[in-house]
């Protein structure tokens, strides 16, 4: 084995690793857009306290409908409602922000209908 052969094996290994990472990054957004008009239980479980409104919108594939908002001093809060993929189901997420920050999730609520899996 020549020194050039070792380098080319390392180069090929690094290229394969980079390709796998790139494929995983590309596949993540595609997987979340399989239900563009409703929220699944799996998507609901992927959001967490502290997530931005934009991140939740990317996971749910939409921003939802603002059903409540309030302001106290400079602090703001809002509740957004999303259509669930199951009949007789409901998904709501609350967000809050202080001046100079983005809306961040501070709570979530769901009711999954009797036919939920």
CA–CA distance from 77 to each of 1, 13, 32, 47 (Å)? 65, 49, 26, 18
pLDDT along the chain (117 residues), means of 10: 54 61 52 74 96 96 95 96 93 97 96 71
d(CA 115, CA 88): 8
- Give the per-residue pLDDT at 58: 95
- Give the per-residue pLDDT at 25: 52
- Give the per-residue pLDDT at 63: 92
Question: Where do the domains of the chain lie, and which CATH numbers do they carry?
Answer: 33-111 (3.30.1450.10)
């Amino acid at each position: 084995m020549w020194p050039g052969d070792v380098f080319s094996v390392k180069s090929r290994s690094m290229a394969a690793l980079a390709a796998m990472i790139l494929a995983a990054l590309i596949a993540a957004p595609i997987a979340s857009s399989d239900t563009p008009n409703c929220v699944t239980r799996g998507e609901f479980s992927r959001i967490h306290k502290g997530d931005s409104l934009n991140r939740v919108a990317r996971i749910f594939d939409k921003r939802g409908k603002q059903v409540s908002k309030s302001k106290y001093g400079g602090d703001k809060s809002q509740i957004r409602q999303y259509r669930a993929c199951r009949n007789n189901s409901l998904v709501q997420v609350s967000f809050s922000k202080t001046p100079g920050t983005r809306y961040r999730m501070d709570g979530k609520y769901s009711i999954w209908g009797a036919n939920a899996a």
